[in-house]
Structure 1
Amino acid sequence: MEPSGSTKISPSSNHTQNSTGGGGCPWEVTDKARLCRFLCYGSEGDAYTAREEGQVSMEGAGALLSLLQDGRGAEVVEEIKRFSQDGHAVRPGPTFFALALCSQHSELKTRQAAFKAVKEVCRDPAHLFSFIQNKKELKEGMKCGIWGRALRKAVSDWYNEQDAMSLAAAVTKCKQREGWTHQDLLRLSHTKPANEAIALISKYVTKGWKEVQAAYSDKENSEEVVKVLLYLEVVEKVKHSCDETEVINLIEEHKLEREQLLTEHLKSKQVWRSLLKEMPLQSVLRILGKMTSNKVLEPGSSEVQAVCDRIQSETELKKAQLHPFSILLTSENYKRGQGFQGKTKWEPDSSILKAMDSAFYKSFMNVEPLGKRFVVAVDVSTSLSSIVPGTSISTAVAAAAIAMIFARTEADTDVLAYSEGAVVPCSFSADMTLSQATVELVKIPSGSTDCTLPIAWATENGKAVDVFIILTNNPLWMFTASPVETLKKHRQKSGANSKLVMCGLTSIGHGIADTEDRGLLSVCGFDLGALSVIRNLAQDLI
């Protein structure tokens, strides 16, 4: 289903008005477009910098403030909801900041919409704590506190509308963040539990396990309350257990997670082996190096076999919704045999590397096609042997992987290699491996670069293109003509609503000069978030 408020453009309806354009010229960078960029990656500018978290502040939220001043608060809240769902927000921080700002706006309608959206936007305790902390920081310097009736109701509803067992797991896994605890929130919101099971969890959080035992041991309890009691009893039991066998049994029987264990427990290899069985696949991939380093995963062991089976399982890959680029980054980091921070080193296990390779190709099924016409053009004028900053992946492999992702998932994709005035179409077949794709790209002789060549090629060859993705290793963009003008020419001749993404694979923070054309974006460096930014641009979300 298409997210509400976005406009799906099919090849037959190329002149559809852009959803964030708000009337007038479809390519004008409006306040709404700037807000959408801010909600997506935390900046109103037209450049996305990979792996740059950055502090969200009022200075960077000019469009958000101006929309609120114009009385468009309800519209802003709708955008916040849209970006917080379906993985559109590359960084979650800006959505909580924006929601907190709306919840403190002078206009009643905006405040009401913001508080009503809390349970949709803050899907887990960490999100809720972040929202509350943003409210606190925004109120600093003002005389009034944050705990008015509306916030108390929003927080109470957040707890009361949860499934009891999910809430019990949530409060025992994520107990505190950003200086806030569940105890603080339940006390300050004066939450009146909606049912007996929520009342039990509330008592456990605010008064502790002993009081819960005293209050519930002689009572006639409902089935749900009994389930929650048993679960909390297990959580308490594991907290006080020094018996490795008991801890392992409790983990396996009740699917406990590492956040519910003591640091002491995590010194045991057997405990880690039990955790790995049910741990979400994404988390397993994140700690493969550590697990190989401390011999939890030993070559040839049944544990390694089990992990390999999970990594390659189509069911598991689908459930975790793992993206091929994410698997590639993890695989290359694991192959490196050393963490980026700290002194952790390991000898990469060949069977794990093989499983990751297999998972990379299988995970293409998780990329949902957008049905747009793409051109992915790789600049081969400079050496593609350098490394993408913050990763262990070479720019040649990164460019080949990006081209493969589009070529395999979008039916209408042209992959080009260009340099020295020449544009060479590359043939990317569906059964091609990543190394074959890399060879296909780098076989063209290098020379000087001109990043507008791929657009000119499409225009001259009568190819209508929705999104141009230009990948270069060159720290400086080279153009014989203005990219904006070249893109405009293509739009006029083809009748397509063409957009251009300039990706500087080794760039760490400068793109093309700020343009007033909403169809142009720069990506500095590259990560999984960059692919989300490109998808959002292709769907007219930013």
Structure 2
Amino acid sequence: MSFLNQTQPSGDPVSQMEALVGQANNKAGGFSYQVDDFTRLLRFLILGTEGGTYYSSEKELKRENVQSIDRLIMTDQGEQVVDFIRDVSVKGRACKQNTTIYALSVCARSNDLKTKNAAYRALSDICRIPTHLFEFVKYCENESAGSGWGRAHRVAIGKWYNSYKDKPKRLAYHVTKYQSRHSWNHKDVLRLAHIKPETNAISKVIKYIVKGLNEAKSDPVPMADNENVQEVLDFLEGVEKAKKCPRQEIENMKELIAIHELAREHVPTTMLDSIEIWSVLFRQMPMTAMIRNLGKMSSLQMFQSDNQEGKFREDLVIEKLGSKNMLENAKIHPFTIMTAWYQYQAGRGEKGKLSWPVNDRIVKALEGAFYKAFEFVEPTNKRYLLAVDVSGSMTAPVHGSSQITCRDASAAMMLLTTKTEKTCDVLAFSENFTKLDVSATDNMKSVIDKCSRLPFQRTDCSLPMQYACKNKKEYDVFVVYTDSETFFGNMHPSKALEEYRKCSGIRDSRLIVCGMATNGFSIADPSDKFMMDVVGFDTNAPKAMTSFVKGEL
């Protein structure tokens, strides 16, 4: 029953002594919606933890982080677990791919034969590039009691390489681009797996890895697979020529990149300070790679408008950033573009010594791309109340995106929600919990100005639900944006949310608390599937929040 239909007199206390349907007692003495093991597993796969908290910083994955898998296998649901992992991975739902790979390794090392076989069958679907394969091997080694490779493990690794049999040149590209990761390389993996190639072209790639190009070319090319084999050998020869190409032969290197579509990883380090080399790489870069490398390319003076070639490259960057089709196809979230915009504008890398002259036209193009990308964010069609910390400490850098302040990150998320959702109210932790007039017509500057003009008060994470209850407002989602102040007063946020559910009748109303400048806090009740903490804030955080709001966690 909603507020609008309530017959209960205004001001009557709402009883907290009874659980709603689907609720059980929680540790705080109230009630919360219980989380089953598949939900815990889904949380781990998408967030990296079972407890409903997303961490922007890397966390070491350990067996105790995903005990739900063991319990599900014990109830004969191991094959469903593997299908679940595959689905999350293939659909790109995980914030970071390492969680799905780790979960797969746990299943592959299970004593349950059906689970183990299902995990190995899913290997090629989940580990789509060599980096993923090496990570899987590393996790399996950590999970294994012994040091040997069993038959099932060897066969699965062999099938991974043979899965490229219809696209052997792609295998050649991958093994030369991703040569080693996580203390593993292809030669070591092949030595332990004893792979039997299923095609002549795959055989050439494997022989190249183990013995080099000359050995791979020494055998006559069989007529049955002539075209694929020759294509693979031509590519591998191009890679070897690139490796040995001396600095003074820039023109030859440019030709090799263009003919064989080589990546940056194929280029000798001694040539990666060449404008000419980067110009060729730049022309075939996808949008995400281009944005990521703008600082490096600017450091080489590639976008100087005082010469014809520099002006051409500058115009090409601006054209790509202004293309709605390219932005839509690249599926880049606005917050990711904002991170690149602020990083580029700073003129220096977040880590290391790289610095560059800032090109004002590119800065404006990145800002424009940020706003254009809002059009391609799918709405959740939920009703939102955003509660924002406006204190001076919000100028602290975000943990996970240090080039952005908490104030600017929260402004970006306010804009994102107001521009994409039909119902969104914004309130500030100011005098009397002040309504903040943020609309779809605002931009970053206007939102930041509105926040800066307000006096602030202490952030109380239970206030949004108390406000909604008192004013009979109907919301599906409450989001708190703060730096590191996750204080609450006389009522715990989980209790306030529980009370709001009872008095509003919105039984699945959700709460997200984002502590952007902290590396640890705990507001969410781990047993309540409708509460979430976000610790720090990186480019994956909006994706995690959207999954939570849509009920995918």
Is 1:107 aligned with 2:112? yes
Residue segments in structure 2 that go unaligned for 5+ positions in a row: 1-19, 24-30
| 1:167 aligned residue | 171
| 2:282 aligned residue | 276
Is the Cα contact below 8 Å between 2:512 and 2:532 reproduced in 1? yes
Aligned 1:430-449 pairs, distance under 5 A:
431-449=441-459
Question: 2:49, 2:114 → 1: CA distance?
Answer: 26
1:205 to 198, 209, 215: 209
Question: Which stretch of the first structure deviates more once superposed, 360-369 or 381-390?
Answer: 381-390
In the TM superposition, what whole-angstrom CA distance separates every residue of 1:483-521 from its partner, at most 9, and x where no partner exists? 112212222233321110011122221232655322111
Q: 1:168 Cα shift?
A: 1.8
AA of the residue aligned to 1:37: R
For 1:56, what is the secondary structure of its paired residue?
coil
Is 1:500 aligned with 2:506? no
| 1:184 aligned residue | 188
| 2:410 aligned residue | 399
Describe the shift of the 1:16–1:205 C-alpha distance in structure 2 as closer, same or farther (beyond 3 A): farther
Question: 1:380, 1:476 → 2: CA distance?
Answer: 13
Is the Cα contact below 8 Å between 2:254 and 2:276 reproduced in 1? yes
Question: 1:315, 1:254 → 2: CA distance?
Answer: 26
Q: 1:105 Cα shift?
A: 0.9
Question: 1:335, 1:185 → 2: CA distance?
Answer: 43
1:150 to 149, 152, 161: 152
| 1:489 aligned residue | 499
| 2:301 aligned residue | 295
Aligned 1:215-226 pairs, distance under 5 A:
215-216=219-220, 222-226=226-230
Is the Cα contact below 8 Å between 1:421 and 1:450 reproduced in 2? no
AA of the residue aligned to 2:123: V
Question: 1:126, 1:504 → 2: CA distance?
Answer: 32
Is the Cα contact below 8 Å between 1:292 and 1:347 reproduced in 2? yes
2:529 to 512, 518, 521: 518
Q: 1:195 Cα shift?
A: 2.4
For 2:388, what is the secondary structure of its paired residue?
strand
Is the Cα contact below 8 Å between 1:329 and 1:391 reproduced in 2? no
Q: 1:540 Cα shift?
A: 2.2
Is the Cα contact below 8 Å between 2:333 and 2:373 reproduced in 1? yes
| 1:244 aligned residue | 250
Is the Cα contact below 8 Å between 1:269 and 1:296 reproduced in 2? yes
In the TM superposition, what whole-angstrom CA distance separates every residue of 1:313-371 from its partner, at most 9, and x where no partner exists? 22322232111101111111121122232222222110110110111011123322222
Is the Cα contact below 8 Å between 2:107 and 2:119 reproduced in 1? yes
| 1:420 aligned residue | 431
Is 1:98 aligned with 2:128? no
2:85 to 80, 105, 110: 80
Describe the shift of the 1:205–1:16 C-alpha distance in structure 2 as closer, same or farther (beyond 3 A): farther
Is 1:473 aligned with 2:483? yes
Question: 1:16, 1:438 → 2: CA distance?
Answer: 42
Question: 1:396, 1:297 → 2: CA distance?
Answer: 31
Is 1:36 aligned with 2:47? no
Is the Cα contact below 8 Å between 2:314 and 2:362 reproduced in 1? yes
AA of the residue aligned to 2:331: Q
Is the Cα contact below 8 Å between 1:396 and 1:442 reproduced in 2? no
| 1:10 aligned residue | none
Describe the shift of the 1:394–1:144 C-alpha distance in structure 2 as closer, same or farther (beyond 3 A): closer
AA of the residue aligned to 1:250: L
For 1:471, what is the secondary structure of its paired residue?
strand
Question: 1:459, 1:197 → 2: CA distance?
Answer: 67
Is 1:124 aligned with 2:126? no
TM-score (norm 1): 0.88
Q: 1:28 Cα shift?
A: 1.2
AA of the residue aligned to 1:516: S
Is the Cα contact below 8 Å between 1:382 and 1:474 reproduced in 2? no
For 1:322, what is the secondary structure of its paired residue?
coil
Q: 1:375 Cα shift?
A: 2.2
For 1:426, what is the secondary structure of its paired residue?
coil
AA of the residue aligned to 2:205: I
Is the Cα contact below 8 Å between 1:421 and 1:453 reproduced in 2? no
AA of the residue aligned to 1:290: K
TM-score (norm 2): 0.87
Is the Cα contact below 8 Å between 2:299 and 2:355 reproduced in 1? yes
Question: 1:517, 1:218 → 2: CA distance?
Answer: 62
Is the Cα contact below 8 Å between 1:299 and 1:349 reproduced in 2? no
In the TM superposition, what whole-angstrom CA distance separates every residue of 1:211-235 from its partner, at most 9, and x where no partner exists? 2222246867533333223222222
Is the Cα contact below 8 Å between 1:384 and 1:396 reproduced in 2? yes
Question: Which stretch of the first structure deviates more once superposed, 346-355 or 197-206?
Answer: 197-206
Percentage of pairs with the same residue = 34
Describe the shift of the 1:84–1:359 C-alpha distance in structure 2 as closer, same or farther (beyond 3 A): same
Question: 1:154, 1:391 → 2: CA distance?
Answer: 41
AA of the residue aligned to 2:324: E
| 2:323 aligned residue | 313
For 2:385, what is the secondary structure of its paired residue?
strand
Q: 1:377 Cα shift?
A: 2.0
Describe the shift of the 1:444–1:117 C-alpha distance in structure 2 as closer, same or farther (beyond 3 A): same
For 1:29, what is the secondary structure of its paired residue?
coil
Is the Cα contact below 8 Å between 2:154 and 2:195 reproduced in 1? yes
AA of the residue aligned to 1:149: R
Is the Cα contact below 8 Å between 1:40 and 1:90 reproduced in 2? yes
Describe the shift of the 1:153–1:415 C-alpha distance in structure 2 as closer, same or farther (beyond 3 A): same
AA of the residue aligned to 2:267: L
Describe the shift of the 1:108–1:285 C-alpha distance in structure 2 as closer, same or farther (beyond 3 A): same
Question: 1:230, 1:17 → 2: CA distance?
Answer: 62
| 1:67 aligned residue | 72
Describe the shift of the 1:263–1:513 C-alpha distance in structure 2 as closer, same or farther (beyond 3 A): same
Residue correspondences, number? 517
Describe the shift of the 1:503–1:143 C-alpha distance in structure 2 as closer, same or farther (beyond 3 A): closer
Is the Cα contact below 8 Å between 2:391 and 2:456 reproduced in 1? yes
Describe the shift of the 1:174–1:448 C-alpha distance in structure 2 as closer, same or farther (beyond 3 A): closer
Is the Cα contact below 8 Å between 1:382 and 1:447 reproduced in 2? no
Is the Cα contact below 8 Å between 2:414 and 2:438 reproduced in 1? no
Question: 1:260, 1:427 → 2: CA distance?
Answer: 48
Q: 1:299 Cα shift?
A: 4.6
AA of the residue aligned to 1:111: K
Aligned 1:260-275 pairs, distance under 5 A:
260-275=266-281
Question: 1:352, 1:115 → 2: CA distance?
Answer: 46
Question: Which stretch of the first structure deviates more once superposed, 167-176 or 156-165?
Answer: 156-165
For 1:267, what is the secondary structure of its paired residue?
coil
Question: 2:446, 2:329 → 1: CA distance?
Answer: 29
In the TM superposition, what whole-angstrom CA distance separates every residue of 1:445-499 from its partner, at most 9, and x where no partner exists? 3233332222233334444322211112352423342211221222223332111
Is the Cα contact below 8 Å between 2:141 and 2:147 reproduced in 1? no
Q: 1:205 Cα shift?
A: 2.2
Question: Which stretch of the first structure deviates more once superposed, 153-162 or 216-225?
Answer: 216-225
AA of the residue aligned to 2:157: V
Question: 2:224, 2:82 → 1: CA distance?
Answer: 44
Is the Cα contact below 8 Å between 2:46 and 2:94 reproduced in 1? yes
Describe the shift of the 1:387–1:291 C-alpha distance in structure 2 as closer, same or farther (beyond 3 A): same
In the TM superposition, what whole-angstrom CA distance separates every residue of 1:227-286 from its partner, at most 9, and x where no partner exists? 223222222222222210010122123321011121122132211121111123222222
Is 1:345 aligned with 2:349? no
